[in-house]
Amino acid sequence: MSDTAKNYVNGEWVESETGETIDVQNPANPSETVATYQKSDGSDAKEAVEAAVAAKAEWANTPGPERGRILREAGTLLGQRKEELTDKLVAEEGKARGEASGEVQRAIDIFHYFSAKASDLGGTVKGASGQNTNLYTREMPVGVAALVTPWNYPIAIPAWKLAPALAAGNAVVLKPASLAPGVVIEIARALDEAGLPDGVLNVVTGPGSAVGSEFIENEGTDAVSFTGSSQVGEMVYEQATDAGKRVQTELGGKNPTVVMDSADPAEAADIVANGGFGTTGQSCTACSRAIVHEDVYDEFVDELVDRAESIDIGPGNEHEMGPQVSEDELNSTLEYVDIAQDEGATLAAGGGVPEGDDVEEGYFVEPAVFTDVTNDMRIAQEEVFGPVVAVIKVSDFEEGLDVANDVEYGLSASVVTDDHTEANRFVEEAEAGVVKVNDKTTGLELHVPFGGVKRSSSETWREQGDAGLDFYTIEKTVYDSY
């Protein structure tokens, strides 16, 4: 077991006032404790907010290029430690090594991207109606941003919240997910070594009910960004808005891929398998519904079943698909497998706990394919957050589009078709914040907006790219008469 990691508050590594700790186990081998972290409470969170409030003015007045230099140096340090960070991510979250390495690289790229954007922040000059007047805008930081991040992308999501917040001149308090906080601690370490002033970033580990709630409700924080389940996110949104905060939430999904009769079934099955089974299905943008034209349905199902059954399952360092992150997540997936069968769906592949020496102790599950699914079944309506794909048969494009939209969520959606008219209509009419043509529902570029509609988002502010900066800035209009 490694030494107990500490919170990062006001430029110092400190223990929680509770004296309690949290052990993080390896989901591929739960008897192995990977690391131990502080189990902090509201008083620890309050101290972090106080440190951020004290530091925000100096950081806001730091020139953008200097802020960018620090972000760039932090990204470089993360790059130098990429293998170490990948090891930590695999051990704590369970993700397959290739996926974990790609996620770490994404965090590095995000810091480098926003390091450049920090120099561009300033404002715009406008023409005034009268003479002898300068009319322009200034982009000001919001103040102190409270970030609450999830376990499924434990370095990428904190990075795409934190980097634009710092680039825009905000101080930050951050609560990482308790299941996999280690890589966030390493981000704080890199920023500290890069020269970030004391108090500008504060990281406190512990339960959301104590640490997260204090961050959200404390009068010292000005903005709240949360990623997680819709149920929790809606409570966070209510808390934050009641406290008068600017708030951004990115939540769950029930993401469809519509496969039309012009599609090649094998190619479509590759797209759905990559979107549905990648990251063990533990992605808010994962494909959980394949909505398939009846003319290619049978062949598509055969191809998807082949892919599900050929996936190599085991510990992430040696296998294609790792475990679910916890026993609770595994049990939830297995429960949905039972529910689907009870409602009349046919289990065409997987859905059980695999056997073998490599998978004997961990939270492993076989990727599942369900057929004979109707859109009123729970398996077609509720987020599973595991490697489970429900295949729904439709007779034409109109029915496919209707089924795709007939859920409470609207995060990501894709269509597989050779018909340009169908593709264009899907782009226009799919009720989702991210729409793809002939591509999987997962995978995001870092320089374009990301967010959902309906229960997938607060529909207030987008993340990533220039849209990510918008959330962390307030525009001030200046009239300068001379």
Q: What domains, with CATH codes, occur in the chain? A: 7-251+458-481 (3.40.605.10), 255-437 (3.40.309.10)
Contact 116, 450 (CB under 8 A): no
CA distance 222 to 205: 20
Q: Is 284 a catalytic residue?
A: yes
Contact 204, 45 (CB under 8 A): yes
Q: Is 416 left (phi over 0), alpha (psi -120 to 50) or beta?
A: beta
Q: pLDDT by residue for the chain (482 residues), tens digit each?
A: 457 999 999 999 999 999 999 999 999 999 999 999 999 999 999 999 999 999 999 999 999 999 999 999 999 999 999 999 999 999 999 999 999 999 999 999 999 999 999 999 989 999 999 999 999 999 999 999 999 999 999 999 999 999 999 999 999 999 999 999 999 999 999 999 999 999 999 999 999 999 999 999 999 999 999 999 999 999 999 999 999 999 999 999 999 999 999 999 999 999 999 999 999 999 999 999 999 999 999 999 999 999 999 999 999 999 999 999 999 999 999 999 999 999 999 999 999 999 999 999 999 999 999 999 999 999 999 999 999 999 999 999 999 999 999 999 999 999 999 999 999 999 999 999 999 999 999 999 999 999 999 999 999 999 999 999 999 999 999 999 99
Q: Is the dihedral of CA 88, 27, 312, 404 positive or negative?
A: negative
CA distance 300 to 462: 35
Q: Which of 121, 210, 236, 284 is catalytic?
A: 284
Both tokens of 246, joined, read 């600017």
Q: What is the pLDDT of residues 7-61, one digit of tens each?
A: 999 999 999 999 999 999 999 999 999 999 999 999 999 999 999 999 999 999 9
CB-facing half-sphere around the CA of 414: CA atoms within 13 A: 26
Give the three-state DSSP class for 143: coil
CA distance 116 to 38: 34
Q: What is the DSSP string of 170-237?
A: -EEEEE--TTS-HHHHHHHHHHHHHTPPTTSEEE--S-IIIIIHHHHH-TT--EEEEES-HHHHHHHH
Name the residue with tokens 């000001």.
140
Neighbours of 163 (CB within 10 A): 30
The residue type at 466: D
Q: Which helix (H) or strand (E) holds 247?
A: strand 246-250
Q: What is the DSSP string of 310-371?
A: H--BS-TTTSSB---SSHHHHHHHHHHHHHHHHTT-EEEE--S---SGGGSSS-----EEEE
> Strand 125-126's sheet: what is its strand order?
125-126, 133-141, 473-481
Q: What is the pLDDT of residues 353-383, one digit of tens each?
A: 999 999 999 999 999 999 999 999 999 999 9
Give the three-state DSSP class for 243: coil
Q: What pLDDT does residue 2 have?
A: 56
